[in-house]
Amino acid sequence: MLVKNLIALYQKKLNKVGVHNALWEMRFMFKEILNIDLASQLLEKDLTINNTQEKLIKKCLDRRLKREPFDRICNKKIFRDSELLLNPYTFSPRKETELIVDIIINLKLNPKKILELGTGSGAISIALMKIFPKAKCIATDINNRSLKLAKKNAKNNNVFEQINFICCNWLDIFVNFDFDIIVANPPYIKSEVIGKLDPEVRCFDPIISLDGGKSGIDSYKKIILGLDQKTFYKNSIIIFEIGNDQSQEVEKLMKEVNIMKTQVIKDYSNQKRFVLGTITKSKT
């Protein structure tokens, strides 16, 4: 079959079901699934694929018609310079989250010990361990199936030795803290809004990675109140990713437990996306 005919056919179908950028997604899919590079797709006007290739790509395009995201169909995601596997139990890391890594780099702390709460695919911890090869990290998640995948991703990206993966509920297992940095991108969507999200999100990201409770900020409350009950052996910086309308509430929660020097940082779309603060060493 001629590639251009297949693309034209599915572009119409995909546009009809509400997939924006259908053309580019298809081009990437041809690259990922059939290994036909972009240049060939654009330059060879009468490029054809055989029956086996046609069956395979149509199967994937039909999944996309059902609004399954491109990264889930291809089973992988690029996060900064890391290639990560995905599975149906794992949140697919987002582009805007990549910035959290830059924020940490810009702190110029050269951290030795990092804690990530709710690691999902391992994206943030893996990226940080590549940047700070002398650092160690504890990466937690309540979802064991996600943690298994995160371990695989860490192995594939050669940082497994630096990360200790632990299955737990936020801060439950921790007593004393001597982390330089604590980072979390917890679930932050209001429960009532989840049903209105795009199908790519509500049907394919695990609910436990999305649901922030009635107010959307349940996880921040649990983490921040939890932190307040721990003993800190050194000053730690805490960095949260937040929903764009949550900065005031989260900052307020942080200030209430004396997390100092809070700062809200915007993402590349000018949305308030991160809050950071300093937890000072506990008095003995």
Ligand X SMILES: C[S@@+](CC[C@H](N)C(=O)[O-])C[C@H]1O[C@@H](n2cnc3c(N)ncnc32)[C@H](O)[C@@H]1O
Q: Which residues bind ligand X (CB under 6 A)?
A: 91, 93, 97, 117-121, 123-124, 140-143, 146, 169-170, 185-187, 208-209
- Looking at beta carbons only, is 26 or 242 nearer to ligand X? 242
- Looking at beta carbons only, is 111 or 186 nearer to ligand X? 186
Closest CA to 49 of 2, 90, 4: 2
For residue 205, the minimal CB distance to ligand X (Å) is 8
For residue 187, the minimal CB distance to ligand X (Å) is 5
C-alpha–C-alpha distance, residues 75 and 69, integer Å: 10
253 by DSSP, 3-state: which? Answer: helix
- Looking at beta carbons only, is 61 or 84 nearer to ligand X? 84
For residue 147, the minimal CB distance to ligand X (Å) is 9
For residue 150, the minimal CB distance to ligand X (Å) is 9
- Phi-psi map region of 139: left, alpha, beta (phi>0 left; psi -120 to 50 alpha): beta
Residues 6+ apart with CB under 8 A from 90: 120, 121, 143, 145, 146, 149, 150, 206, 209
C-alpha–C-alpha distance, residues 162 and 179, integer Å: 14
- Looking at beta carbons only, is 41 or 97 nearer to ligand X? 97
The answer to whether residues 128 and 114 touch, using CB atoms and an 8 Å cutoff, is yes
Helix (H) or strand (E) holding 59: helix 51-65
- Looking at beta carbons only, is 56 or 99 nearer to ligand X? 99
For residue 241, the minimal CB distance to ligand X (Å) is 7
